[in-house]
Every structure is written in structure tokens, then in C-alpha cells.
Amino acid sequence: MTEQRPLGSGFGPATTAAEVIAGEDLGGKVAIVTGGYSGLGLVAARTLAEAGAEVVVPARDRAKAQAAVQGGAPLQLEQLDLMDPASIDGFAQRFLDSRRPLHLLINSAGIMAPPLMRDARGYESQFSTNHLGHFQLTARLWPALKKAGGARVVQVSSRGHARGGVTLEDVNYERRPYEGWEGYAQSKSANILFALELDARGQADGVRAFSLHPGGIMTNLGRFTPAEHLRAFDIIDDQGKPVVDPARDRKSPEQGAATIVWCAVSPQLEGKGGVYCEDCDIAAAAPADGSTGAGVRPWAIDPQIARELWALSERLTGVRFL
């Protein structure tokens, strides 16, 4: 595993996705970006496509996605519902049937702090969508990732992981009271732990994995959060407009997508993996009781917890990596 310590990348909080990818030619590369039809995912998908990559964007509602992606570099829309195992398998099989390698898999789709909802299996919606759906998707696409002869998987996590780790004995809130932000923190810690273990397992096949915090950005992810809470978090101002102040981790979508794109394509990360990143650099390791949101907490980069989460994820999905 790469050391969890900043590289001194030369980028920073105000860097944009376009600045990160400047000079990169992704011609011949194939990417999948979940959540690639809105918010940060759309900026990341378009940035990769403009650099020459063939970009596939899976969406639960293709008509809505089609309207959102009009204009700009072309994106290939496909059907996918991350809370539906059959839908995940169907999408992955269609991609495998195309016999294309997969160079970049960006797992960006997610939900944040909704009321308690469950998928058809009874799994809590944030853990199902943000973690288990992407776990199954990555597993099903594994042959295409190996075929690339050098691939990256990017997990979009959040500083929200600092609110708490994964409660392995009750991930689906069957025996404890549900709290939306706690569930979000659990799912975002799971994203980081998944990248850690995926990198350890995938390195021999040329697949490296990264996780990241994009920044505080006003996107559709906040649809379950009341406006008064967004104002209290300083995400929107009194007029309801997004706050952009990258020095305080309040970013535009172009700035927020920068770390996603940096993890996906930066030559500075060649030969590295398994690390959590922010502001277009590897983040520092932070203590459990850290007073700021910056850095990654111990429970999200513990290899033993990562292995236990992997085993639990296999049991809950019935899926193994081949």
C-alpha cells in the first residue's frame, strides 16, 4: 500500500478538472462513470471525454440523463440501478459482451442522508447504493478491468466519513436506531475501505484503486437536506446560492471534480494506490478525534476492517471477484 501522506502535487483546493487533465491524451481509453449525468460526475465524465476517452454513463432514468448530457463531448448512456442486483449484472454483462477493456471505473453515484429506505433485499439504501452496488459492479466488470493492462478504480467518498466508521455487526440498521448522517458516514467509510482492499487484491492484475473527498459542493446530492441545514453548513448563502470558497472546502463542480479526475489519470499516482485523496493530492492521516474535517480517519484505512468489510460485502451481495 502507498503511504498515506501528501505528495506535494502542485495542485490545490482551487484546481479545476480541466487544469488537472491539461496535456493528457486519453484516446483509446474507455471509462465508466456512475453518476456521470449530474453534478461532479457529469463534470468528470465530460472532462475525460474531452480528453479523448470513450465514456459510458450508466443511469437509472435514461430519459432524464439524456436531457442532462446534451451538448459537450459525447457520452454513451446505459441503464443501471445500483440498488437492483439484476440491473447491475445486466449492465456489466452488456459491457463485457462488447469485449472492450475498461481503463477507468469511477464510482461516483450516491445518495446522502435520506430518510430510512431499504432495497428489495432489506439493505439500508445508503449502504446499498454507495457501497454494495459499486462493490458488485466492480466485481462484475473485473474481467474488463484486468483486460486493460493497467486500470484505475476511483471511489468518490467524502469528509463525511469522519462522523463514524462501518458498524460491521449491523450495517443495515436492523438492531440500532437509524440516523441519516451516521448512515452516510458509514457508507463513505466503506468507500475508502473498499478502495484499500481492492488495491491490495488488484495490484497483481494491474488494477489500482483510490478514494477521495471532492469538496463541499452544492449538487443534487443534497436533495434530502433541508435548506436551513445547507445554510448552517455554509453550503448555500442566505439567497440560496452555492458558496464557493475553496480555501474553506466550498467548491464549484469544476473544482470538486478535479480530485476525481486527478485520481483517475494523474501520472503522479503511477505505481501507487489504496490511498484516500483530497485537493488533488494524497491526504494526510488524521487522528480519530481530529478537530478539522481534513485528512482520513483511522477506521477508514485499517487493513483488518477493510478485509472484514470485503468478506461481509461478498456475503451480502453473493458476488466474488474472479
How far apart are the C-alpha atoms of 314 and 181, rounded to whole Å? 25
pTM here is: 0.95
Give pLDDT, residue 220. Answer: 60
Using CA atoms, how far apart are residues 238 and 65, in angstroms rounded to an integer? 30
3-state secondary structure of 236: strand
235-285 pLDDT, tens digit per residue, is: 777 877 888 889 899 999 999 999 999 999 999 999 999 999 999 999 999
User: Are the C-beta atoms of 184 and 115 separated by less than 8 Å?
Assistant: no
Cell numbers given for 81: 440501478
pLDDT of the residue at 223 = 61
- pLDDT for residue 225: 64
Over the stretch 85-121, which tens digit does the pLDDT of each residue have? 999 999 999 999 999 999 999 999 999 999 999 999 9
Cα separation, 235 vs 245, whole angstroms: 10
CA dist., res. 319 & res. 4, Å (int): 29
- Dihedral of alpha carbons 231, 237, 243, 248, sign: negative
**Which residue among the candidates 37, 173, 184, 276 is catalytic per the annotation?**
184
Low-confidence ranges of the chain (pLDDT < 50): none
What pLDDT score does 72 carry? 82
Tell me the pairing of strands 54-59 and 76-79. Answer: parallel
Statement: 17-316 belongs to CATH 3.40.50.720? yes
State residue 133's pLDDT score: 98
Q: Are 282 and 7 in contact (CB under 8 A)?
A: yes
The whole-number pLDDT of residue 218 equals 64
Between helix 303-317 and helix 180-202 the angle, nearest 10°, is 100
Each domain of the chain, given as residue ranges in start order, spans 17-316
- Is 184 one of the annotated active-site residues of the chain? yes
Place of cell 475498461: 102
CA 153 from chain centre, in angstroms, equals 9
